[in-house]
Amino acid sequence: MKVLVTGSAGLVGHAVRRRLEAAGVEVVPVDVQRWSFDGVEQVECDLLDRDAVERLVDAERPAAVVHAGGVSGPMVSADDPARVVDVNLIGTTAVLEAARRHGVSRFVSCSSIAAYGITATRRVVEETPLHPATVYGATKAAGEQLVEAYRHRYGPAGASLRLVAVFGPRRRTDCLIRDLLVDAAAGRTTRVGLPADAPQQFVSVDDAADAVVAAVHAPDAVGAYNVAGDRPRTVAELVDAVAAVEPRVRAELDPPDPAAASRWPGTLDLSAAARDLGWAPRVDFGAAVAAYRDWLATHA
């Protein structure tokens, strides 16, 4: 089996590539940068260059594609929404079209909890209506629809994994857990501008990558799947959990605000992923925080 992974130098794509390779799977790592964090050469390809994507898939003829490339969160290029749309939608279309034209049978796309936006329920299942509140979230919702439409019309068995905030070694973008650990190491108090009762359901990068790999090997699993940590924690509970690992953590939080906290999705139901992918989060939260702390000590 050969798997082409876009965004292979990114947080999730890198972890997916390493897991597939460890299992003996041939991987074609694709990214806009030539070298990954661990010094592995990537196939340089800009997903906005449709002809380049077409040539690459034609040359490699993978059995499956993991699409982890693109703008990776609502905090990235937030002041340039047109670029977010271009990268996440035109790029996704280029990869889907190349997959269609060259007989790729399995397509796994990394979507996001941001596709939900503001929900009216505290128990969030995949059928919960999508009301994205950011341009990034809108591109993820639209990307899921493209994957589904291509599946119905052209054949690649597509699944979209709605990842919650992924944390762990190699994450450098805005992240509450990262901020707490970096500030603690520097002797600073972290100012958290979120209601203390706002729910957060971080997932470790190892669990996220395991879910993606499970989806690659579950060709009958199609549609959207929630991928999150073991349970939601309020911001206050999250700070306490990180402080249990790193006692130097100090934080100032906004007071509880039930109305504001309700803007965050509640508990993501993970039963569909367990049923169809055989996946559930397995990494201990404290151990994942400790691993991230130790990595940041030499890479922050």
Q: Could you please report the per-residue DSSP string of 168-184?
A: STT--S--HHHHHHHHH
Q: What is the pLDDT of residues 199-240, one digit of tens each?
A: 999 999 999 999 999 999 999 999 999 999 988 899 999 999
Q: Which pLDDT band holds residue 25 (cuts at 50, 70, 90)?
A: very high
Mean pLDDT, residues 74-101: 92
Q: Which pLDDT band holds residue 261 (cuts at 50, 70, 90)?
A: confident
How many degrees, rounded to 5, is the angle at CA 54 between CA 99 and CA 140? 55
Confidence (pLDDT) at 259 = 86
Rounded alpha-carbon distances, angstroms, from residue 161 to 39, 75, 144, 243, 294: 27, 20, 9, 30, 28
pLDDT at 131 over 90: yes
Continuous segment of H or E residues that includes residue 143: helix 135-154
pLDDT at 39 over 80: yes
Residue (of 51, 62, 143) closest to 103 by Cα position: 62
Residue (of 110, 117, 103) closest to 154 by Cα position: 103
CA distance 262 to 264: 5
Provide the residue ranges of all domains of the chain, joining segments of one domain with +: 2-166+202-231+266-283, 176-199+232-264+290-299
pLDDT at 252 over 90: yes
pLDDT at 161 over 90: yes
Q: Are 202 and 177 in contact (CB under 8 A)?
A: yes
What's the start-to-end Cα distance of the chain, in Å? Answer: 37
Mean pLDDT, residues 34-42: 89
pLDDT at 154 over 80: yes
What mean pLDDT value characterizes the chain? 94
Q: Which pLDDT band holds residue 300 (cuts at 50, 70, 90)?
A: low
Domain covering 2-166+202-231+266-283 assigned CATH 3.30.70.360 in the classification: no
Continuous segment of H or E residues that includes residue 295: helix 285-299
- The model's pTM: 0.95
